Amino acid sequence: MQKIKEVLAESYQNAIRKHFNEYNDNIAIKLNKLSPDNKEAVLNKFLDQYETDKVEIERKWSNAPLEGLNGKTPAEVIQSIEKLEDVFEIFIYMSGHTDEEVPFLLVDKLNSFGQRAISLLLEFVNSRKQSEGHEEYEFLEAVSAIGMIGMDESINPLIQLAYDMQDNEPMLEHIEEALKNVGAGIIQPVLERLETSKFGKVEKMLLYVLASVGSMAKEDRIYLKLRDAFREMEEKIPAVICLSVYGDGRAVPMLRGFLKKYTGILSGDLFYEIIGSIRNLGGETEEFM
C-alpha cells in the first residue's frame, strides 16, 4: 500500500506541475507589463482557466498507465480496492503530500462506501481540530470530501464543527464550502439553528450558506429568515449580501425604505452595499445617488 500511495501522489502532482509551470511563467511575464486593475482581470481569468484545465489533467492522469502501478492506471487501481480503510489511507496520504485538492476519483470511491465513509471522515476531522502543517491539509481535504459526498447525515456534525472551529478563519471557510456542497438538505437544519441562535460569526456564515443554497431552491421560509436577519442584525452588511445572493426582488422595497430613512448617517460601506444589492435585485437607485 505504501508504494501505491507514493506513486499516486507523485504522479498526480507531477501531472499538474508539468502542465502549469510554463503557463505560470507566461502569466508572470504578462502581469509585469500590466496596470493593477488589469492584473486583477488577468488573474481572475487565469484562476478560472486553472480550474477548467485541472479537470482535464485529472482525467488524463486517471486513465494513463503507470510503470509504478505495473502498467495499470490510477483509476483501475483505486476502483479495485475493496476495503474502505485502504481507500481512506490513500486519501489521507495524498491530502498531505500533494499541493492540489485530492483527485475526485478518490472522493467518488469513498462515496461508494456510503455512510461508513462519512462516519470515518467525521471521526477523522473531529480528531484533527488542532492540526498544523501536513495535518491541516488533511483536515481541510476531509472536510471538503464530506461536503462533496453530500449526505444529509453530515450536516449537523459540520455545523457543530463550525462552532468548534469558529476562531480559525481558513478552516471555517472550508466548512462553509462543504455545507454549500451538501445542497438543499442543509436548508431545514440551518433554519432551525438560526431560529434559536443570536447572530455570531457562525450564524452569519450559516445565513450566507442558506442564501447561496436557497437561491437554487427558493421558498418563503428562507426569504423571511433573511428579511428578519436584516431587521435584527446590528451589523447589516452580511444580511444585505445574503439578500443579494438569494436574489428575491421582494427585498427591494425594504432596502429602499431603509435608505430613505437613514441616508446621510449610514457608513459608506453599508450605503454602497445596499445600492449594489438593490441594483442586483432589479431595483432603481438613481434618487439616492
**Pair 187, 213: CB distance under 8 Å:** yes
Please tell me the predicted confidence (pLDDT) of residue 253. 96
**Pair 161, 175: CB distance under 8 Å:** yes
**C-alpha distances in Å from residue 128, one per residue of 20, 138, 167, 172, 178:** 32, 9, 15, 14, 17
Check residue 141 and report its DSSP letter: H
Please tell me the predicted confidence (pLDDT) of residue 52. 80
Parts of the chain with a pLDDT under 70: 22-37, 39, 42, 131-134
Please tell me the predicted confidence (pLDDT) of residue 23. 63
Please tell me the predicted confidence (pLDDT) of residue 54. 83
Please tell me the predicted confidence (pLDDT) of residue 11. 94
- Please, what is the Cα angle at 113 between 109 and 119, to 5 degrees? 115
CB atoms within 10 A of CB 263: 12
Please tell me the predicted confidence (pLDDT) of residue 48. 73
pTM of the model as a whole: 0.85
**Per-residue pLDDT tens over the stretch 143-177:** 999 999 999 999 999 999 999 999 988 889 999 99
- Please, what is the Cα angle at 102 between 100 and 107, to 5 degrees? 160
CB atoms within 10 A of CB 63: 12
The residue ranges of every structural domain in the chain are 1-78, 81-181, 183-289
Please tell me the predicted confidence (pLDDT) of residue 77. 96
Task: State the residue for C-alpha cell 480496492.
Answer: 81
Task: State the residue for C-alpha cell 431595483.
Answer: 283
**Per-residue pLDDT tens over the stretch 46-86:** 777 777 888 888 999 999 999 999 999 999 999 999 999 99
